[in-house]
């Protein structure tokens, strides 16, 4: 038989197949970072489709294509096609990001599954910070400062709660106070800790053990004089951290340094392009830390800066788990590509 079929999973079906399981997402990501460190992944450079220069992404938005292959026992290829429209929440009361994830058989090339990638993308982005915090934050971290009150920091908080057992207080800062208030109200459903609105970014940062910035800011938010010894800072968005803050770091860790430099939008990449940071200034990629080839946090007073840019392999490994679960559960809609190919 020459018929080719593939599975389609809606967002709700992705959720029902474990899309919101942060513990499993973190397990997936630890595995993919180990595989990436071993060289058992393929990660082509991210392609950004935008309508203008790099700064147009902050207003008009972009669509990113993020292909990859995950080896090991996963052994699947795929791509995430994700749009980001910063005006959506304000103008249309719709999510900023929307995505499709496609999985392919890496031998015949045929599609295995097309699924909503929006939930997966958000979960794996938070999960990457969770993996990093597990190895790089102070073990008994209690106070988290979140800059940005969007979907990204929702999953950042979910992941931090998973890996920081002593988490007791969260401060949330957003340019719009009502967004911070709504964020806290929603977050109370899944994180039972003391949460307060920070009136300024400085208030969110000062006194925090862990700081996460996930915004579409056009200029740095985290200032050098606010950061302290022992802090773990995750720069999840773009140019969110002042150079002076980064210069204080004892360790700079990235998910993939080549990809960070290629993207060129985050503080580390901007400093590199200006000759203010060298390849030798990067302590490690996260896979080396997760694999045990480089120590994570070694001293409580270390200031550790983490810069993830995101890779398609992170989405692919999570999507692979979702796909396998859907097959076991008999969920999803089978779609036909062809009964018999027109040409071969």
Residues forming the active site: 80
**What are the structure tokens assigned to 25, written together?**
């997402």
| Residue whose C-alpha is closest to residue 148's, from 187, 99, 105, 92 | 187
Cα–Cα distance, 317 to 307 (Å, whole number)? 20
In this structure, the strands spanning 143-147 and 333-338 are: unpaired
Cα–Cα distance, 256 to 140 (Å, whole number)? 27
**What are the structure tokens assigned to 329, written together?**
């559960």
| Residue whose C-alpha is closest to residue 15's, from 112, 113, 120 | 120
Q: 140 in the Ramachandran plot: left (φ > 0), alpha (ψ -120 to 50) or beta?
A: alpha
Say how many C-beta atoms besides its own lie within 10 A of residue 167's C-beta: 22
Find all residues with CB under 8 Å of 278, minimum gap 6, and list them: 272
Beta bridge partners of 24: none
The single residue listed with the structure tokens 């964020």 is 183
Q: C-alpha distances in angstroms, 128 versus 26, 89, 175, 182?
A: 7, 24, 25, 24
**What are the structure tokens assigned to 139, written together?**
């073990």
**205-239 as b/e: b if 16+ CB within 10 A:** bbebbbbbbbbbbeebbbeeebbeebbbbbbbbbb
Identify the three-state secondary structure at position 56: helix
State the DSSP string of 63-85: EEEEEEEE-TTT-EEEEEEEEE-
């Amino acid at each position: 038989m020459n018929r080719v079929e593939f599975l389609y999973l809606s967002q709700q079906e992705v959720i029902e197949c474990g899309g919101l399981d942060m513990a499993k997402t973190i397990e997936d990501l630890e595995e993919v970072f180990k595989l990436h460190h071993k060289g058992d992944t393929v990660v082509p450079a991210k392609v950004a489709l935008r309508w203008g220069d790099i700064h147009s992404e902050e207003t008009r938005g972009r669509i990113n294509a993020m292909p990859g292959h995950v080896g090991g026992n996963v052994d699947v290829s795929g791509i995430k096609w994700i749009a980001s429209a910063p005006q959506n929440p304000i103008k249309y009361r719709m999510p900023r990001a929307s995505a499709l994830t496609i999985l392919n058989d890496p031998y015949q090339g045929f599609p295995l599954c097309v699924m909503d990638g929006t939930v997966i993308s958000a979960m794996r982005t938070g999960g990457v910070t969770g993996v990093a915090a597990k190895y790089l934050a102070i073990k008994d971290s209690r106070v988290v400062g979140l800059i940005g009150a969007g979907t990204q920091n929702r999953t950042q908080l979910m992941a931090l709660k998973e890996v920081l057992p002593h988490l007791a207080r969260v401060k949330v800062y957003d340019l719009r106070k009502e967004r911070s208030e709504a964020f806290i109200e929603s977050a109370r459903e899944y994180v039972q800790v003391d949460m307060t609105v920070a009136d300024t970014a400085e208030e969110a940062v000062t006194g925090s053990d862990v700081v996460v910035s996930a915004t579409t800011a056009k200029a740095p938010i985290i200032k050098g004089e606010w950061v302290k010894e022992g802090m773990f800072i995750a720069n999840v968005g773009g140019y969110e951290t002042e150079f002076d803050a980064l210069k204080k770091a004892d360790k700079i860790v990235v998910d993939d340094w080549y990809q960070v430099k290629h993207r060129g939008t985050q503080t580390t990449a901007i400093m590199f392009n200006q000759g203010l940071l060298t390849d030798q200034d990067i302590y490690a990629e996260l896979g080396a830390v997760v694999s045990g080839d480089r120590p994570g946090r070694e001293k409580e007073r270390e200031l550790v800066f983490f810069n993830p840019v995101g890779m398609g392999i992170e989405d692919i490994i999570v999507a692979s788990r979702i796909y396998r679960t859907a097959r076991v559960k008999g969920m999803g809609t089978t779609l036909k590509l062809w009964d018999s190919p027109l040409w071969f």
